[in-house]
Structure 1
Amino acid sequence: MLQAYLFPIGFALQTFPLLAFVFTLPFLIVQYRKYGYVNKIRVIVLYSFLLYLLCALYLVILPLPDTRHTCTGTTGSFNQWVPFQFVRDFLRETGLQWNNPATYLKVFGERGFLQVAFNVLLLVPLGVFLRYYFRRRIVRTTVTTFLVSLFFEVTQGTGLYGIYECPYRLFDVDDLMLNTVGGMVGYAIAPWLTAFMPKSETLDEGIDLSVTRVSYTRRFVAWLIDWAVLSPFVLFFLGRHMLLPLAGAVLFYFVVVPYLAEGRTLGKRVVRIRLDGRDGGLTLHALLVRYVSLYFGIGGPNVLFISGEMNHLPTMVMIPLLLVAGLLNLVFGIHALLCFVRRDRMLFYERWSETKHSIT
């Protein structure tokens, strides 16, 4: 029976990286918007919470039947509405004899006990998370735990919401009770389990955003958002080989927009950063130096290659241009890697333009 629990957990560990990847971008945006920075303790807690929820869901729904035609050969009800039926099942299925202490230890390895223990333990971590990180009181923790358990039972009782013709597991009122008890147990033991961790309400104490360095991760998120905004124009102009309008769109978005919007594009606004120039002022010249050197000096040759414009050039011209583009990419890649490793170093276009990012 233990193997039946280990399989869903193992599958959750395998699929968690994909879920974490999908979760990361919205997670970072929320953290930057709400707190102005990303706290490492908060990252550990929330990602472990995500992994726990995934494990809990898989424990409830896995293993899946081999066919969706699950009504074949089934008889009786798919629901168990009798409270405390688990007590009667425990006494009937286990070899417990109250007058024989030798049978007590054997109970812990029998299905009747393990089934009850699993249903209690399933939502114990939820109670811990709700009290420690989300700071919920006992009543809200109990209600939340009950609702999560109800979601699990409905998921089972509907055959994964109609994916299977009939439920392949019971909707069990005892599971609702035992899961809810587990959440309350988690709430009760949370202070002992989290005693070695800082209190969640003090995670942001002592943080001065005015001197906090803008990380490359934060800048990358802003960059992704900005190019997501520009992507329809890029695809439109590239598809029609209209490179001059494309260059104009890039210049307008990265030069004119931040010049008029106090150093912020949409991406920078979302993650709460802005560009500052020397002595705090941001000039049009500084923006031109910054983005022309980056997007036209480094990006330009690559765009010519991607768009196919180089194919129209003579071979004697195209080959040197390809070599130059490759060399620029290599040099820039090494330069960016060194700047990433040595966080005090500025990228070349920042140094040339005398611009830097700050948190708003």
Structure 2
Amino acid sequence: MLEAYLFPISYAFLTFPIAALLCAVPFLIVQYRKYGYFNKFRGFLLYLFLLYMMNAVYLVLLPLPASRHNAPMDVASVMQWLPLNFIQDIIKETKVVWGVPSTYTHLLKERAFLQVVFNVILVVPFGMFLRYYARASWVACLAASFGLSLFFEVTQVTGIYGFYDHPYRLFDVDDLLMNTLGGMMGLVLADWMKNHLPRLDRLDEKVDLSQKRVSYTRRAIAFGIDAAVMLPIIGVLTVMNVRGAYFFAVILYYIVLPYMMQGQTLGKWVVRVQIRGAGEHLKLKEVIVRNGLLYVVWGGFHALFITVNVIGSHVLLAMYAVGILLLDGVVFLHVLLCLIHRDRKLLHEAKSGTRLAIVDNKPVQAD
């Protein structure tokens, strides 16, 4: 019985690093948008919940049939609608002699009993997370736990929504009842444990966003979002034979737009940061120097490589490629030094006198 549970759990742990990487950017963006920064304790809870959900789904679905064209199950019906039918199963299969308490330990080795216990335990962490992290009411927890269980049961009985020819597990109303019970037990357990855990609503009380550094991870996410916006635009303009398409799009998006939108592009808005200059208001000159160095000069050097490639001169192309490699090597070393020495400023920030700051959405309190 234990081996049947250890198999999917091992797969969940093996694939967790991949899921963690895929979820990293969405997790970070949500934290940046909602709280203005990434709290490590909240992050730990989110990844713990992800690991739990992977284990739960794998336990419910694995092992899968060997083929999509699986044979029908050898049962009268794939639907079990009789509530508390598990009691009859336990009585029928047990070796316990109810008048002899010393035989009660046999229950711990019997499939029918362990299956009920497993169905309860399966959703306990879900209820705990809803209560502690999401601060859900008991009604919301009840509905969510039942909904999760129903999702599990429907997924199984439909053969993962028609992927398999026939269901490979039963739909059991007792599973719905026990899973939902587990979710509510998790809620009660979270209430009992809350005095021994940090209060999530107080994690941000002493956080001053104006003093927090904008991490390079945050910068990279903003850069990636902006690149995802710009590349299709530049591609369309190039296909339309717009001369200087790259420089035209870059000047509008990285210079005109931030100046008009208080130092923000779409990427910076998503992660809640903005460019700030030496004074109270960002100056056009500051934006031109900052983003001009980064996107017009450095980015333009790469964009012109396409033009050189079109010319067809192999010698010129080779020289230009070497020049790009040297430039990128210098940029890489510069960024690496800034990563190591946190007080060191990036070149485009130092030359423009600008910096990235977190946007604080809290209302200003009147004196």
TM normalised by structure 2 equals 0.90
Match of 1:143 in 2: 143
Q: % of aligned pairs identical?
A: 47
* Contact persistence 2:128–2:187 (CA under 8 A): yes
How far off is 1:15 after superposition? 2.6
Gaps of 5+ in 2: 360-367
2-structure distance, mates of 1:132, 1:315: 64
What code does the residue aligned with 1:254 have?
Y
1-structure distance, mates of 2:197, 2:347: 41
What code does the residue aligned with 2:330 have?
V
What code does the residue aligned with 1:25 have?
V
2-structure distance, mates of 1:301, 1:243: 16
Matches within 5 A, 1:1-360: 1-72=1-72, 74-193=74-193, 195-237=195-237, 244-305=244-305, 307=306, 309-310=308-309, 312=311, 314-360=313-359
Q: Give the direction of change, closer, same or farther, for the CA distance of 1:47–1:194 in structure 2 (3 Å limit).
A: farther
2-structure distance, mates of 1:234, 1:58: 43
Q: Give the direction of change, closer, same or farther, for the CA distance of 1:72–1:132 in structure 2 (3 Å limit).
A: closer
2-structure distance, mates of 1:279, 1:217: 26
Gaps of 5+ in 1: none
* Contact persistence 1:120–1:179 (CA under 8 A): yes
* Contact persistence 2:73–2:168 (CA under 8 A): no
- Look up the SS of the partner of 2:209 in the other structure: coil
How far off is 1:315 after superposition? 4.8
How far off is 1:225 after superposition? 1.7
Q: Give the direction of change, closer, same or farther, for the CA distance of 1:314–1:140 in structure 2 (3 Å limit).
A: closer
**Comparing 99-108 and 163-172, the one that deviates more:** 99-108
* Contact persistence 1:311–1:318 (CA under 8 A): no
* Contact persistence 1:70–1:165 (CA under 8 A): yes
- Look up the SS of the partner of 2:244 in the other structure: helix
Alignment length (residue pairs):
359
* Contact persistence 2:238–2:245 (CA under 8 A): no
What code does the residue aligned with 1:147 have?
G
What code does the residue aligned with 1:135 have?
R
TM normalised by structure 1 equals 0.91
What code does the residue aligned with 2:85 have?
Q
CA RMSD of the aligned region, Å?
2.2
